[in-house]
Amino acid sequence: MDHINVKQNIAKNSVMICSGKGGVGKSTMAAVIALSLAKKGLKVALLDSDIYGPSIPHLFKIKNDGHEMVNDKLTPSNICGIEIMSMGMLMPEKNGIVWRGPMLSKMIKHMLQNTAWSQDLDYMIIDTPPGTGDIHITLTKDYGINECILVSTPSHIAISDVIRAKDAMKNLGICKTSLIINMSYIEYNGINKNIFGNTTPEQCAELIEIEKFIQIPLLEKIANFDIDWVLRNDFILNCVGSLL
């Protein structure tokens, strides 16, 4: 395999969005982070590295319109100035994928190296699948990515998985880690309520042993992924923007 360093060759900064846990909002937060960078006028790409369950096309309402190769390169979608590539854009929506690890790594390599990204990307944001497996190994060991944002809810079950994920990321050479405590609270009758228990954001960060963290509330506009609303919501954009 040709080893390239994404940091040097594809984007000035590359950041993986990870969590040991599924369903905590990695894809949603990856999309919000990309929107916050694009709104700042930065050149941003968003790679969906979740091969089995690509969510980014759903969030950005990208249809699988038979993304053709142009000059042997995949054409990324461009939504709100964000260059996007995902397995969901390359395979029919209802097709399931049954691949072993080496095939996953090959596909990540294909999407990273054979997509017609802009030359001077400031950021490559990479949404990753749940867990810490083949894709994370490929991204860190073969592409030199050394920064990640972990996503957790305040639930004990999520936190325990994220503690393991943080350790795994450290073992993979990640040296810059921050944390989003997602769905941290819901506002109900003017009161902020943590529906996942009593663990405060500070306690979550302490348990996961991460200093830099933010919290994002559970909001209907985020659940429905209203892009225009997200782009207008400076509170959310500044929150995630503060991590980079």
Ligand X SMILES: Nc1ncnc2c1ncn2[C@@H]1O[C@H](COP(=O)(O)OP(=O)(O)OP(=O)(O)O)[C@@H](O)[C@H]1O
Nearest partner of 13 among 41, 44, 56, judged by Cα: 44
Nearer to Mg ion, 43 or 150 (CB): 150
Nearer to ligand X, 142 or 161 (CB): 161
**Residue 6 burial (CB count, 10 A):** 22
Residue 195 and residue 188: Cα distance in Å, rounded?
A: 11
- The verdict on 28 binding ligand X (CB under 6 A) reads yes
Nearer to ligand X, 24 or 84 (CB): 24
* Interacting residue with ligand X among 183, 205, 230, 237 (CB under 6 A): 183
* Interacting residue with ligand X among 177, 182, 215, 233 (CB under 6 A): 182
- The verdict on 55 binding Mg ion (CB under 5 A) reads yes
β-strands 176-182, 121-127 pairing: unpaired
Q: Is 27 annotated as a binding residue?
A: yes
Nearest partner of 213 among 177, 164, 187, judged by Cα: 177
Two structure tokens written together for 73: 């390169």
Residue 16 and residue 19: Cα distance in Å, rounded?
A: 10
The CB-of-127 to Mg ion minimum distance in angstroms stands at 6
Residue with tokens 């049954």: 98
The interface with ligand X within residues 109-138 (CB under 6 A) comprises 129-130
Return residues touching ligand X (CB under 6 A): 19, 22-28, 50, 53, 55, 129-130, 182-183, 216, 218-219, 222-223
Annotated binding-site positions for ATP: 20-27
